[in-house]
Amino acid sequence: MLKIGILGFGTVGKGVYDRFHRTRETIERQLGESFAIEAILVKDRQKDRASLEEGFVTTDWDEFKNHHSYDIVFEAIGGIEPAYSYTKHFLTQGIPVISANKKLIASRGEDLEACAQAGGTFYGYEAAVAGAIPIINALRATLSTTSIDRVRGILNGTTNYMLTEMIQKERSFADVLLEAQQLGYAESDPTDDIESYDAWYKLIILSRLCFGKWGDTEQITRYGVSEIENWHVEVANELGCQVKLIGDAKLEDGEVRGIVSPAFVAGDELLASINGVVNAVVLYGEDIDQLSFAGPGAGGAATANSMVEDFILHSRYDGDRVVAEEQHEAKEESSYSIVFVNQASYGECLHWAEAYSVEIVESIPHSEGEAWIVKNAAVYELSQPVYQLYGNIQRITSANEVKVS
């Protein structure tokens, strides 16, 4: 009999427990053996656990780790500590761990993978990226020898919901943030979502799988969505673009480089059609051109489902992604950005444009200021709101026939 331990019993931990019970017969048929949830580590033992059909419940770590010799442990605590110490304990003992903890994986994943390898086991984190989309296991199994030179996607369901509402219904940032919190998409402290930490963690993890190395986090830039103003949305609508929080990473000179930032996405691009709490990932490679995945990106049920499926895949499949020593690098192509310039920042932006010989493709006037479409510019030197621009630049600029006011 397979013995299971669960660390944490919040939304995700309870979701894992419920998924095992709801589909017990199917899982046992796939595994070829029965299973039992032996123990659950919780924060608060006073909470109602009457619905639990099995499992020893404790708040004591020593009691949990010594209760049984587990065959698999699901980590659903979140954060760095104590999740890191608990995970390392089991991996070094050769006990596999399945996690959805993107912050832990992005910051300590390299170390924990080394622990798993030394212990002769695996560290599974399918559920840490893009909710219900099986992107990590697709990279590890179906695409295990396929060269990937770029990955791009919408990796945060909360901000995608907010931006969808702002663009399509012309609602304010504050209004949609409050609604996202009321609906349970955003936490009471929404910093990880709106300052793009959540999407940043996920891009770091995706880059490791795509390119075979943990990138230098200093080379993956992060911008939040909190500086989006109503007039930015008006300009986007005039250009026929959607505003999305996009994560984009590629190999450049043998190193992983990437950015997570708000972006203007042309209406005919795939990512422009991804709305609500849905996530999407697009892989680029010489043999696959573009390969796209989309699915629910938020919610405890989707995350728990991915954790259980991750465990089942590892139980049946022992392979991993093989990255060629000489990876194809992303094709050189021009990059375009939109810089929003108001009256107060005009002097600074003009000085920047002159200092870096910035090519301004088009200047779009607005009553609040100007929106500059710039080409191959050092936008990281600016303190002004900057958006990446994805899509056919000729079509986007030709859409600007009427002055935005």
Question: Which positions are annotated as active-site residues?
Answer: 202
Query: In 190-238, which residue ranges form alpha helices assigned H by DSSP?
Result: 191-194, 197-211, 230-238
- DSSP letter, residue 140: I
Residues 6+ apart with CB under 8 A from 98: 72, 73, 74, 75, 124, 125, 126, 127, 307, 310, 311, 314
Length of the chain: 405
Distances (CA, A) of 141 to 130, 301, 313: 17, 24, 9
Q: How many Cα atoms occupy the beta-carbon half-sphere of 7 within 13 Å?
A: 30
**Could you give the CA distance from residue 311 to residue 77 in angstroms, rounded to a whole number?**
17
CA dihedral 135, 137, 143, 149 (to 10 degrees): 50
**Could you give the CA distance from residue 146 to residue 324 in angstroms, rounded to a whole number?**
9
Residues forming beta bridges with residue 2, ordered by sequence position = 35
Indicate left, alpha or beta for 172 from its phi (over 0: left) and psi (-120 to 50: alpha): beta
Taking a C-beta distance cutoff of 8 angstroms, is the pair 146, 121 a contact? Answer: no
Q: Residue 130's closest CA among 26, 208, 41, 247?
A: 247
Question: Strand, helix or coil at 298?
Answer: coil
Residues 6+ apart with CB under 8 A from 264: 236, 239, 241, 242, 243, 338, 387, 388, 389, 390, 391, 396
Distances (CA, A) of 97 to 105, 194, 294, 299, 320: 12, 29, 26, 21, 16
Q: Residue 113's closest CA among 128, 134, 130?
A: 128
